[in-house]
Amino acid sequence: MVNREVQAHDTVVRFGNAAVGGDKFAVIAGPCSVESEEQLMAVAEVVKKHGAVALRGGAYKPRTSPYDFQGMGIEGLKLLHKANQQLGLPTVSEVMEVGQVDSMCEYVDCLQIGARNMQNYALLKAVGESKKPVLLKRGLSATIEELLLAAEYIYDAGNPNIILCERGIRTYETATRNTLDLNAVAYLKQRTHLPVVVDPSHGTGVRELVIPLSRAAAAVGADGIIVESHLNPCEALSDGHQALTGPMFEQLMQELKPFVEAA
Ligand code: PEP
Ligand code: MN
C-alpha cells in the first residue's frame, strides 16, 4: 500500500498546522528529551521563531544504558501539550510501548516510533489503530525493505498518515555515531508516496555536522528534517553533543530558506 504503483501522488501528512510532504521542506525541531518546563518552553520559542513547523521532545527515552536519564514520562507529555497550547506548535514524541499509546494520543500530535522499535510489530499495529500521524524511524540495522514493511504494518492497521525517517545506520565507520544513508532517501522518494524526512542529529551524532547534512537532505529531495536543539547543550540530559544551539538553529534555517519557502 505504501508503493507508488498503488498511489502515484505524494502523501502529505498533516498535524496541527504542520504539513510534511508536498512542496515545502518541513523542519521539526526541539530537544532530545523534555527536561523541564523552562528548558522546553525556551527552546520551543526559539525554534518556532526561526520557522520550525513542529516541536520534538522525548518523554519516554530508549537509552542504551539503564543508568542514563530515562525521560520525564507523563509529566513530559503534559509539558509538550502546554508548549503546543502556548505557541501553537504541534508536537512529536516517541512512544515506546503499546500501553503508552492512549495517553500519548491525548497529549501529542504525532507519534514517533524510534529506531529500536521499528520492528516492534505489536507497537506498529497499535499506532496504526490509533489514527494519529506516525513518524517511523529506520532501525539501526534495518534495510530499506524492512522499513517499508514496518510502514505497511501501520498502514494495514488503518493509518495512512506515516512519515518515514532516515536516521543513520550502523556501519563499520566509527568517526560518526551512525552513517546517514542518503541513498535511502533518494530511493524511498522513488519507491513510496509517503513523505521522507532525515534526522541529521542521530545520523551524525556531531553538532558541527548537522547543518551540512541538513543541506544534503534538502538537496537529495527529503521532505524535511527532524533535528535536535538545546539552548544549553552542555547541560542536556541526553544527546547534548549533537544538539544545535540557538544561534546554530538560526543559521540552519537561514541556509534552508530556499527549500522551506518553496511555493
Ligand atoms: C530520538 O529521536 O531522540 C531517538 C532516540 O532517536 P532514534 O530512535 O533514531 O535513535
Ligand atoms: Mn536523541
- Report yes or no on 2 lying in a domain: no
Range of the domain at 22: 13-256
- Report yes or no on 57 lying in a domain: yes
- Report yes or no on 152 lying in a domain: yes
The answer to ipTM > 0.95 is yes
Domain count, the chain: 1
- Report yes or no on 82 lying in a domain: yes
Instruction: Give the tens place of pLDDT for each residue, 86-114.
Output: 999 999 999 999 999 999 999 999 999 99
Instruction: Kindly list the distances between the CA atom of residue 16 and the CA atoms of 58, 77, 82, 104, in Å, as whole numbers in the listed order.
Output: 19, 16, 14, 15
What CA–CA distance (Å, rounded) separates 228 from 199?
A: 9
Instruction: Give the tens place of pLDDT for each residue, 152-166.
Output: 999 999 999 999 999
Strand partners, 110: 92
pLDDT-derived band of residue 218, with 50, 70 and 90 as boundaries? very high
- Report yes or no on 263 lying in a domain: no
Mean pLDDT across 213-230: 98
Instruction: Please tell me the number of the ligand nearest to residue 94's CA.
Output: 1
Ligand 1 centroid–CA 199 distance in Å is 9
- Report yes or no on 8 lying in a domain: no
User: Does ligand 1 have an atom closer than 6 angstroms to the CB of 58?
Assistant: yes
For atom 4 of ligand 1, the residue with the nearest CA is 114
Instruction: Please tell me the number of the ligand nearest to residue 168's CA.
Output: 1
For atom 1 of ligand 1, the residue with the nearest CA is 32
What's the pLDDT score for residue 5?
95
Ligand 2 centroid–CA 232 distance in Å is 15
- Report yes or no on 262 lying in a domain: no
Instruction: Give the tens place of pLDDT for each residue, 239-261.
Output: 999 999 999 999 999 999 999 98
Q: What is the DSSP letter of 251?
A: H
Predicted confidence (pLDDT) at residue 1 exceeds the cutoff of 80: yes
CATH no. for residue 192? 3.20.20.70
- Report yes or no on 7 lying in a domain: no
Predicted confidence (pLDDT) at residue 263 exceeds the cutoff of 70: no
72 close to 32: Cβ distance less than 8 angstroms: no
Mutate to test the pocket of ligand 1, among 199, 226, 227, 237 (most ligand atoms within 8 A of CB): 199
What CA–CA distance (Å, rounded) separates 80 from 150?
A: 27
Instruction: Give the tens place of pLDDT for each residue, 144-199.
Output: 999 999 999 999 999 999 999 999 999 999 999 999 999 999 999 999 999 999 99
Ligand 1 atom closest to Cα of 115?
Answer: 8
Mean pLDDT of the chain: 97
